A = this chain, B = another copy of it.
């Protein structure tokens, strides 16, 4: 019996989240290290009950390739550093101007805008420091991880590019093309990079990496569709952030373009395509399959 069968998904996720949190706690200085205020701000946003979905996906992808990819949680944690920096900056008054994130006041509401901007910068910078110092991994592989993360977070088809398109798109007529290009970059690129980084870390072959990338693309799109759907369907309380903001800000979303029912159908298609992409893998990829299901069927 494989380990996958031994424990359920939720228990498994909780375990992985713990291991990611442990290394994040090691890498991010505590508030005994000066300047304390910036480390407090970084930790405030980092340890705010995030689901750690990106690191968990990286670890699951690494385990689909290799039984015991030692130290993978360090590489995986860098995805959470990037994700958290992007949330802090997105929430700023000049961008989404959000007061609430994961059920708590946003970073700039607690620490002020200046520290929030610098805390985001610091998390982004730290992600690359961590990758450079992965002691368990050969230099060639570490460099590939740096490149993967930097591209996924960048302007050309990456996270920042998507964020810019999103800003520019506010108030424009929602079109399917614009929608897809925004989300492929804004959330898709980092989710795809998550599984790719896991696979690269674990020494995936070209063919394996291609399959994992395809999985990542489908799951990235599914994730965003469901995020948009939940913004319409769920109350703020369940989301831990201000619900209905997309509509209020005239964001281009899947429900706005396709309606709720069709959006859910599309997410289901992506889920199935993600499963199909994994057909070359044995049951070591079972967690990736379960995560695909979890992402599409989640309630928050």
What are the residues of chain B within 8 A of A300 when measuring CB–CB? Answer: none
What are the residues of chain B within 8 A of A132 when measuring CB–CB? Answer: 143-144, 146-147, 150
Query: What is the CB-to-nearest-CB distance from A162 to chain B, in angstroms, rounded to a whole number?
Result: 9
The answer to whether the Cβ of A168 comes within 8 Å of any Cβ in the partner chain is: yes
Query: What is the CB-to-nearest-CB distance from A79 to chain B, in angstroms, rounded to a whole number?
Result: 14
The answer to whether the Cβ of A9 comes within 8 Å of any Cβ in the partner chain is: no
Measured CB to CB, the nearest residue on chain B to A169 is B35
Q: Are A35 and B164 in contact (CB under 8 A)?
A: yes
**Residues in A130-164 with C-beta less than 8 Å from chain B:** 131-133, 138-140, 142-144, 146-147, 149-151, 153-156, 158, 160-161, 163-164
What are the residues of chain B within 8 A of A142 when measuring CB–CB? Answer: 139, 143
What are the residues of chain B within 8 A of A89 when measuring CB–CB? Answer: 117-118, 121
**Cα separation A122 to B159 with both chains bound (whole Å):** 10
Which of the segments A59-67, A108-116, A195-203, A269-277 contacts the partner chain?
A: A108-116
Q: Are B114 and A94 in contact (CB under 8 A)?
A: yes
The answer to whether the Cβ of A101 comes within 8 Å of any Cβ in the partner chain is: no
Measured CB to CB, the nearest residue on chain B to A133 is B147
Contact A121/B120 with A29-B156, A155-B38, A168-B37 known, Cβ cut-off 8 Å: yes
The answer to whether the Cβ of A128 comes within 8 Å of any Cβ in the partner chain is: yes
Q: Are A122 and B38 in contact (CB under 8 A)?
A: no
**Residues in A1-45 with C-beta less than 8 Å from chain B:** 29, 33-35, 37-39, 42
> Do most interface residues of chain A lie in helix, strand or loop, or is the interface mixed?
helix
- Chain B CB count within 10 A is highest, among A35, A156, A165, for A35
The answer to whether the Cβ of A126 comes within 8 Å of any Cβ in the partner chain is: yes
The answer to whether the Cβ of A129 comes within 8 Å of any Cβ in the partner chain is: yes
**Cα separation A149 to B165 with both chains bound (whole Å):** 29
Tell which of B29, B94, B129 touches A117, judged by Cβ atoms closer than 8 Å. Answer: B94
Tell which of B29, B38, B146, B160 touches A118, judged by Cβ atoms closer than 8 Å. Answer: B160
Q: Are B146 and A128 in contact (CB under 8 A)?
A: yes
**Cα separation A142 to B147 with both chains bound (whole Å):** 11
What are the residues of chain B within 8 A of A125 when measuring CB–CB? Answer: 124, 150, 153-155, 158, 160
Q: Are B143 and A139 in contact (CB under 8 A)?
A: yes
The answer to whether the Cβ of A167 comes within 8 Å of any Cβ in the partner chain is: yes
Query: What is the CB-to-nearest-CB distance from A77 to chain B, in angstroms, rounded to a whole number?
Result: 15
**Cα separation A163 to B118 with both chains bound (whole Å):** 8
Chain A contacts to B: CB under 8 angstroms: 29, 33-35, 37-39, 42, 85, 89, 92, 94-95, 112-115, 117-118, 120-122, 124-126, 128-129, 131-133, 138-140, 142-144, 146-147, 149-151, 153-156, 158, 160-161, 163-165, 167-168
New contact pairs (6) apart from A125-B154, A129-B151, CB-CB < 8 Å: A94-B114, A118-B160, A125-B150, A128-B128, A129-B146, A139-B140
The 3 closest A-B pairs by CB, nearest first: A94-B113, A129-B150, A132-B147
